[in-house]
């Protein structure tokens, strides 16, 4: 019995590639942002200025742009109609900061225009929060109790997490495309500065790809464990 408790669970190997890629993606976005955070733009427009200009150009005067503490904690909150920009973005005039600020403004434009993937993502957020907290514990409780119902319920809950990561990809990629297009058409950045902003947003996009891969590999591991338990 004791030997059985301490035997190596080979299924952990399934998720290791996703964890490695996630760590690499986090390193990539941090190093890329650090590199271009000192690449200051010629017009000296801040991240807050850029976000405000993009919002106003689309008639979104009601959406506020606020400062929030932290590093790369930037986000758009549709419930409060506010874009929150972090310490390294709000008052910075770097190409990296303008790229991030424009990306968050891109999310505000998505919301205003009823972008369908964003609506889908918003709709599954409650289930995703529930699933991210309970899916894994429920699955392993079911595994220990030999309860197929609990294991299946855990898998279904975690499937919602994987689906959220999947639908997040088009939302994030689209926001970046919108951001770069606006930065180009408005001449806020020149070609060299735009290239720097693009590299930052591309690095950030890798984190979402890594998150999806990790969730899919985790889901695969749960399915393998459930199948092994049935034998």
154, 145 in Cβ contact below 8 A? Answer: no
Can you tell me the distance from the alpha carbon of 174 to that of 208, in angstroms, rounded to the nearest whole number?
A: 13
113, 175 in Cβ contact below 8 A? Answer: no
Q: Per DSSP, which regions of 68-202 are E strands?
A: 75-77, 82-85
Among this protein's residues, is 104 annotated catalytic?
yes
Q: How many CA atoms lie within 13 A of 60 on its CB side?
A: 23
For residue 52, which of 188, 169, 156 has the smallest C-alpha distance? 188
Which among 104, 148, 192, 193 is annotated as catalytic? 104
Residues serving a catalytic function are 104
């Amino acid at each position: 019995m004791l030997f059985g408790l301490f035997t190596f669970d080979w299924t952990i190997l399934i998720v290791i590639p996703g964890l490695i890629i996630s760590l690499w993606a986090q390193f990539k976005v941090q190093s890329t942002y650090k590199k271009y955070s000192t690449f200051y733009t010629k017009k000296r427009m801040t991240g807050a200025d850029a976000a405000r200009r993009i919002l106003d150009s689309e008639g979104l005067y009601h959406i506020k742009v606020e400062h929030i503490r932290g590093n790369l904690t930037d986000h758009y909150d549709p419930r409060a109609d506010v874009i929150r920009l972090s310490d390294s973005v709000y008052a910075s005039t770097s190409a990296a900061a303008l790229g991030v600020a424009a990306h968050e403004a891109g999310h505000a434009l998505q919301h205003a225009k009823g972008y369908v993937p964003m609506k889908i993502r918003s709709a599954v957020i409650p289930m995703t929060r529930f699933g991210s907290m309970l899916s894994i514990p429920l699955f392993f409780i079911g595994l220990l109790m030999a309860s197929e119902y609990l294991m299946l319920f855990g898998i279904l809950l975690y499937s919602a997490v994987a689906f959220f990561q999947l639908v997040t990809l088009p939302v994030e990629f689209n926001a970046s495309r919108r951001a770069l297009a606006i930065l180009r058409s408005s001449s806020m950045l020149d070609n060299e500065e735009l290239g720097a902003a693009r590299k930052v947003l591309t690095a950030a996009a890798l984190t979402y790809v890594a998150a999806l891969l990790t969730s899919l590999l985790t889901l695969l591991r749960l399915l393998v464990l459930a199948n092994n338990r049935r034998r």
